[in-house]
Amino acid sequence: MALQIRGVHHIVLTVSDPNESAEFYEKILGVKASRENPQVRWISCGSFLLCFQRPPKQAIPNDSFDENRIGLDHVGFAVDSHQQLNDLLAVLGELGITTAGIEFDPAKVIMSVFVTLTIFKLNSMSETITIDKVWRCLFFFILSVKSMY
């Protein structure tokens, strides 16, 4: 018999600075840390917890995100209205974060706001992003038709 789950309880992201990463999400999501210590920050995101922790061992120097490597690609958050996506764009704008705006999937059913931050621009041909900044960037918000699920 298959295991019956009630949903996602928590997601843990390994970052170089849990405080900085959690503060970013707190600003975007309008939530506060529910549990914290020097190595770990937890924030409640409605029906699940988002945890930011330091690497259990020494991090790989100058490591960066690569969507072609095995591991986490992104975190998605669901919202209930188109207005919430517009409000998100306003908050991101106030924080100086630019996006491509609201995008639709190929079937024109799911609307998303994908957020990618450019942290350090070395020159016009290349950029470097530190791993803690990358984990803060990999998320999007989805407005979807509930009957799809």
Q: What is the CATH number of the domain that holds 101?
A: 3.10.180.10
Asked whether residue 136 carries a pLDDT value surpassing 50, the answer given is: no
Q: Which two tokens stand for residue 123?
A: 């020159």
Q: Check: CB of residue 110 under 8 Å from CB of residue 143.
A: yes
pLDDT in tens, 20-44: 888 888 888 888 877 777 778 888 8
Which range among 44-53, 91-100, 120-129, 130-139 shows the weakest confidence by mean pLDDT?
120-129
Domain span at 35: 10-56+72-148
- Is 80 a domain residue? yes
- Is 44 a domain residue? yes
- Is 2 a domain residue? no
In this prediction, residue 128 carries a pLDDT of: 39
Cα 143 from chain centre: 15
- Is 36 a domain residue? yes
Report the run of H or E that residue 45 belongs to, with start and end.
strand 40-45
**Angle 149-68-142 (CA atoms, 0-180°, nearest 5)?**
30
- Is 3 a domain residue? no
Q: Sheet of 48-53: strands edge to edge?
A: 10-14, 48-53, 40-45, 33-36
- Is 38 a domain residue? yes
Q: Check: CB of residue 104 under 8 Å from CB of residue 111.
A: yes
The residue count of the chain comes to: 149
125 band by pLDDT with thresholds 50, 70 and 90 = very low
Q: Check: CB of residue 117 under 8 Å from CB of residue 130.
A: no
- Is 93 a domain residue? yes
**What is the pLDDT averaged over residues 141-146?**
42
Q: How many domains does the chain have?
A: 1
- Is 111 a domain residue? yes
Asked whether residue 49 carries a pLDDT value surpassing 50, the answer given is: yes
pTM: 0.58
